[in-house]
Amino acid sequence: MKKPLFRPIATTLICSVFLWATLCALVIGVIQAAYTYVHVQDEFETAVREIGQTNVPLLSVNIWDIEPEAIRRQIEVVAARQEIGFVRLTVTSGQVFVAGNNDLASRPGRQFEIPPPGRAGGAIGRLEIVENPHAFLSAVLHTVGLALLGYGVLTALICILITYLLKRELERPLRQLARFATELTPDRLTVPLELERGPGHGRDEIDLVVEGFSVLQTGINNHITNLDEQVTQRTAELESALASIRRLSTLDPLTGCFNRRYFNERIQEELERAERYRRTLSVIFCDIDHFKQINDNFGHLAGDRVLQEAAECFRRELRAHIDWVTRYGGEEFVVVLPETSLGAAVATAERLRLALTDCLATTLPDMTVTASFGVTQQQPGETPQSLLQRADSLLYEAKAGGRNRTLPELRGDRPV
């Protein structure tokens, strides 16, 4: 969207002042013109009355004495008045005397019947007087022109004075405010706003804006400081929450061991690491013996207790931060032993088998719980599925052979 054209406030105010001043001058000019019109009409009426009182008796005598030259001079004297445009004298004998602007002869005017000298009745002539419109127009233009000229000069002087005051008291401080706001950056939040004002000015709205900027800067600075602390706190809480979520997503909720999803992700990394550094890695597959009978005879809560105690026992017997145990199925556990040979893994599995029986005999004396174990070692280039399948086959053989035993992988007597 195109930005509107920038226009200074001082220019806008000056244009508004000039427009309203011009409008007021025009209104005053119209009033002055109306007043002048009434004044000119009054002057014409006054002139007509004077002519009736002064010139008509003289014309009566001159007409009676038959003095054409005197009559003509009297007519010219009447027409010479500024308010009179045209004069016509018609004598009853048929003579006509005219003076003034003949273009106005067709216009209606004021008429006087000229009586004989010393008589009240009868008429020896008719005097017609037509108003001079040019005199009216000239008077109106002169009066209105002078009024408009005076108001124009006064308006111009007022606009010049207002322009100077607006630029000094309003436009310059506002431009400084705009420049300060444009250059306000996070590293300049503490820089105070200082305006260059003329000497002797009082406290006004611009000073209130400056004080508002100061309050705003302080508030923003405090908010940023608090915001940094809040961000740090929220980040720590978020990281803790994510760690908890990550931990919960990888743990079995009943036993606290890793779940099967985590096992599938991590076993591949363990195999690749062992292959890369040419280290041994062994796996123990464990299954609680006769677990269905435990659930049937003692209930599922007792079965859950057996699984929890077994997981806790395994964690105590394994190396911290090296070995790890996963609840693979219902009552099945997989123990991963990095950097452990097959012989050491068999010894670990046997230790787990004996520790499990002793631990459950203490915590659950009403039942006898045993477990079977299948132990195997990683072969070069082996996949997780193959390694786990071999361990599972050994566990199946251990259970088929009577349970409560550890069956290791035999590298010479049976195929691997």
pLDDT in tens, 259-283: 999 999 999 999 999 999 999 999 9
Q: What is the mean pLDDT of the chain?
A: 84
pLDDT, residue 74, reads: 85
Domain that holds residue 16: 9-137
Q: Using 50, 70 and 90 to split pLDDT, how confident is the model at 3? A: low
Please state the length of the chain: 416
pLDDT, residue 324, reads: 96
Instruction: Please check whether residues 240 and 303 belong to one and the same domain.
Output: no
Q: Using 50, 70 and 90 to split pLDDT, how confident is the model at 301? A: very high
Instruction: Please check whether residues 216 and 103 belong to one and the same domain.
Output: no
Instruction: Please check whether residues 379 and 316 belong to one and the same domain.
Output: yes
What is the rounded average pLDDT of the residues 312-335? 95
Within a domain: 278: yes
Instruction: Please check whether residues 341 and 289 belong to one and the same domain.
Output: yes
Do the beta carbons of residue 341 and residue 282 sit within 8 Å? yes
Give how far Cα 23 sits from Cα of 12, 155, 159, 163, Å.
Answer: 17, 11, 14, 19
Within a domain: 179: no
Beta-carbon contacts of 129 under 8 Å, excluding residues fewer than 6 positions away, are 48, 51, 78, 84, 86, 87, 109, 110, 111, 112
Instruction: Please check whether residues 219 and 267 belong to one and the same domain.
Output: no
**Per-residue 3-state assignment (H helix, E strand, C coil) for 175-221:** HHHHHHHHCCCHHHCCCCCCCCCCCCCCCCHHHHHHHHHHHHHHHHH
Q: At residue 248, does pLDDT exceed 90? A: no
Within a domain: 142: no
Q: Would you call 275 a catalytic residue per the annotation?
A: no
Instruction: Please check whether residues 25 and 116 belong to one and the same domain.
Output: yes
pLDDT, residue 413, reads: 43
Q: Tens of pLDDT along 143-169?
A: 777 777 777 787 778 878 777 777 776
Query: What is the distance in angstroms between the CA of the first residue and the CA of the last residue of the chain?
Result: 76
Q: At residue 131, does pLDDT exceed 60? A: yes
Q: At residue 415, does pLDDT exceed 60? A: no
Q: Tens of pLDDT along 35-58?
A: 777 777 777 778 777 777 778 888
Do the beta carbons of residue 88 and residue 101 sit within 8 Å? no
Q: Into how many domains does the chain fold?
A: 3
For the domain that residue 18 is a member of, what is the CATH number?
Answer: 3.30.450
Within a domain: 302: yes
Instruction: Please check whether residues 341 and 384 belong to one and the same domain.
Output: yes
Both tokens assigned to 369: 């719980």
What is the rounded average pLDDT of the residues 240-264? 87
pLDDT, residue 1, reads: 54
Instruction: Please check whether residues 227 and 319 belong to one and the same domain.
Output: no
Q: At residue 139, does pLDDT exceed 50? A: yes
Instruction: Please check whether residues 276 and 372 belong to one and the same domain.
Output: yes
Catalytic residue among 83, 131, 331, 382: 331
Sort strands 406-408 and 371-377 into parallel, antiparallel or unpaired: parallel
Instruction: Please check whether residues 356 and 383 belong to one and the same domain.
Output: yes
Within a domain: 153: no
What is the rounded average pLDDT of the residues 354-379? 93
For the domain that residue 330 is a member of, what is the CATH number?
Answer: 3.30.70.270
What percentage of the chain reaches a pLDDT higher than 90? 36
pLDDT, residue 6, reads: 62
pLDDT, residue 200, reads: 64
Instruction: Please check whether residues 82 and 18 belong to one and the same domain.
Output: yes
